[in-house]
Chain A
Amino acid sequence: MSERVFMKGCEAIAEAATRAGCRFFAGYPITPQNEIPEYFARRMPEVGGVFVQGESEVASVNMLYGAASTGTRAMSSSSSCGISLYSEGVSYMNAARIPAVYVNVQRGGPGIGAIQPAQQDYLQATKASGNGGFRMLVLAPATVQECVDMTYRAFDLAAKYQNPVLVLTDGVMGTMMEPVELPPMKSDEELAELKAAYHYRAVVGHPLGEAVFCRPGGIGGGWEEINKETVKMYETWDSEVEYEEFMMDDAEIVLAAYGISARISRYVVKALRKEGIKAGMIRPIKVSPFPYEAFDKLDFDRVKGILNVEMSIPAQMKWDIEYAVHGRCPIAESLRSGGELLTNDQVLAAARALAKEVL
């Protein structure tokens, strides 16, 4: 690993993508993710890549569709209301099984919302990023280091499944600076090999066969057959379920959170432990596929309450937790939204109140 550098989340995402071999970026400005396109605008020419500022979000996501269709590692990013405009292109890329990566640096909503951070796109990101009922792998970093690591991995996951991957982060992670270690730069030779591996699907000038990327549904017969094929892929995603159990061995109170809320919850769990409250945390590292098993397998004779921590009002991830817990213990909430930020103190107070009520 290289030395520690101090980077802003958005810039770290762009540098990690470059090192993972991303050589095409298209995007349209929106706060709080502008440092991603800004960084790419500077960085892509240095590595022989292409940066395009699209005329709109719709144009940008379709440029991503086109670039990734050639087998080139390609990425785009936007924020919340901008991501809503991506939904048509994202659905088409899922239909065509395009190995594209995109990033949502969430801000307040709904509608134009607020330019300040939020986590209000959970259900959109995990359940319906476009029409048609497709699913995607969705990664949720909780530190700037994880912004780096997960963006780097996202390209490999997109290539592995030949399917779009979403990195779901937020305006806090995007604009805050932290020390990070950067992964190695993939060489031109490595990138050429990676591209060659998917040549049979790529749009690279040869006569278009049945399997090419760009043709929605090009991987099989009629649409129903295609959807059945896709379900076979989803069924392999049990192996992609990824979550962290923090201080869960003897936990009686469980904080459930992802992304920015998870780093706050980790702090709160440590603080509660110092007060003698046996707290733990379950953190989805991927929010799709959701780690239902982490909640389903809890010993509810010991676990007396769950605190769902999210920067969203109403709560969204709570739906997934409720589905797994199925009424076996109470689920309380500690929430903010609309660009108002959660603090350690707010979550600590909510966790103490839950502990007082149920323990």
Chain B
Amino acid sequence: MERNLMIAGFGGQGVMTMGKLLAEATSESTDLQVSFFPSYGAAMRGGTANCYVVISDDEIGAPVSNNLDDLVVMNGPSLRKFLPNLKPGGNLFINSTIVDRAEVKRDDIRVIEAPVTQMALDIKNERALNVLMLGVYVAVTDAVPEDVIIKGIEHKFEAKPHLIAPNVDAFKMGIEVGLKEKAK
């Protein structure tokens, strides 16, 4: 079983970090195969940044896909650009603080709304929107167990231990939102 994810947003929203955290944590704490592939190239300020994560119990072919199982969009331009690449029945995660649900013109997909920009402001941790969204993602998809990511956060911030608790808290907040969305 293979799962293809794309994460897209503005440069600065932590989309690369989110993908890398998910992929690296999966590599470290599971026996699954995993790949992380960042977009690179002539980037424009305010333009889109994106990355792909593939998680599988078998060998991974292409680390990119135009037929995604899951798509996370952190801003409007990413929604417009990448929504056609989400497969029917796929999961679309939108940062509903700044992405308008009404713009999603497909009814053959599941839409998960998470106002992660506002949530990050509410907890006075603006940079945590990516970890919040990762919590939502993991809760909805069960792509990997929660503790895999928590271990990954602990490892990532080994050298800055004061950042571990706020990020784990944000991740758990994301989990709660995800579980509520999943129950809908």
Known: A264-B62, A341-B62. A179 touches B40 (CB 8 A): no
Q: By DSSP majority rule, is chain B's interface helix, strand, loop, or mixed?
A: loop
- Complex: how many Å from CA A128 to CA B36? 34
- B21-29, B100-108, B113-121, B159-167: which one contacts chain A? B21-29
Contact for A176 among B24, B33, B35, CB less than 8 A: B35
Chain A residues whose CB sits within 8 angstroms of the CB of B65 once the complex forms:
343-345
Residues from 50 to 101 in B contacting A, C-beta threshold 8 Å: 58-67
Count A/B pairs, Cβ under 8 Å: 72
Q: How large is the interface on A (under 10, 10 to 19, 20 to 34, 35 or more residues)?
A: 20 to 34
Pairwise interchain contact B66-A345, C-beta atoms closer than 8 A: yes
Known: A6-B28, A172-B37, A177-B35. A268 touches B61 (CB 8 A): yes
Pairwise interchain contact A263-B41, C-beta atoms closer than 8 A: no
Residues from 322 to 350 in A contacting B, C-beta threshold 8 Å: 341-345
Query: How distant is B62 from chain A, measured CB to nearest CB, in Å?
Result: 5
Does any Cβ of A come within 8 Å of B38's Cβ?
A: yes
**Most chain-B CB neighbours within 10 Å: which of A31, A179, A265?**
A179
Pairwise interchain contact B27-A4, C-beta atoms closer than 8 A: yes
Known: A6-B23, A176-B36, A176-B37. A343 touches B66 (CB 8 A): yes
Chain B residues whose CB sits within 8 angstroms of the CB of A5 once the complex forms:
27
Does any Cβ of B come within 8 Å of A116's Cβ?
A: yes
A1-24 Cβ-contact flags toward B at 8 Å (1 or 0)? 000111000000000000000000
Does any Cβ of A come within 8 Å of B20's Cβ?
A: yes
Pairwise interchain contact B60-A263, C-beta atoms closer than 8 A: yes
A196-238 Cβ-contact flags toward B at 8 Å (1 or 0)? 0000000000000000000000000000000000000000000
Does any Cβ of B come within 8 Å of A135's Cβ?
A: no
Known: A115-B41, A116-B41. A176 touches B27 (CB 8 A): no
Chain B residues whose CB sits within 8 angstroms of the CB of A341 once the complex forms:
62, 64
Pairwise interchain contact B59-A267, C-beta atoms closer than 8 A: yes
Does any Cβ of B come within 8 Å of A175's Cβ?
A: yes
Which of chain B's residues has its CB closest to A346's CB? B66
Considering only CB atoms and an 8 Å cut-off, how many residues of chain B contact the other chain?
A: 24
Does any Cβ of A come within 8 Å of B15's Cβ?
A: no
Does any Cβ of B come within 8 Å of A259's Cβ?
A: no
Chain A residues whose CB sits within 8 angstroms of the CB of B64 once the complex forms:
172, 341, 343
Residues from 266 to 300 in A contacting B, C-beta threshold 8 Å: 266-268, 270
Known: A115-B41, A116-B41, A345-B67. A177 touches B20 (CB 8 A): yes
Chain B residues whose CB sits within 8 angstroms of the CB of A179 once the complex forms:
27, 33-34
Contact for A6 among B24, B37, B41, B62, CB less than 8 A: B24
Known: A343-B64, A345-B65, A345-B67. A263 touches B59 (CB 8 A): yes
- Complex: how many Å from CA A268 to CA B61? 8
Which of chain A's residues has its CB closest to B41's CB? A115
Pairwise interchain contact B66-A266, C-beta atoms closer than 8 A: no
Contact for B63 among A6, A115, A172, A345, CB less than 8 A: A172
Which of chain A's residues has its CB closest to B28's CB? A6
- Complex: how many Å from CA A322 to CA B54? 35
Which of chain A's residues has its CB closest to B4's CB? A344
Which of chain B's residues has its CB closest to A345's CB? B67
Pairwise interchain contact A270-B34, C-beta atoms closer than 8 A: no
Task: Give the top 9 A-B pairs by smallest Cβ distance, nearest first.
Answer: A267-B61, A6-B27, A177-B36, A179-B27, A176-B37, A264-B61, A6-B24, A344-B61, A264-B62
Residue positions of B touching A, CB distance < 8 A: 20, 23-24, 27-28, 33-38, 40-42, 58-67
What are 20 A-B contacts with C-beta separation under 8 Å?
A4-B27, A4-B28, A5-B27, A6-B27, A6-B28, A32-B40, A116-B40, A116-B41, A172-B63, A175-B40, A176-B35, A178-B35, A260-B62, A264-B61, A267-B59, A267-B60, A343-B66, A344-B61, A344-B65, A345-B66
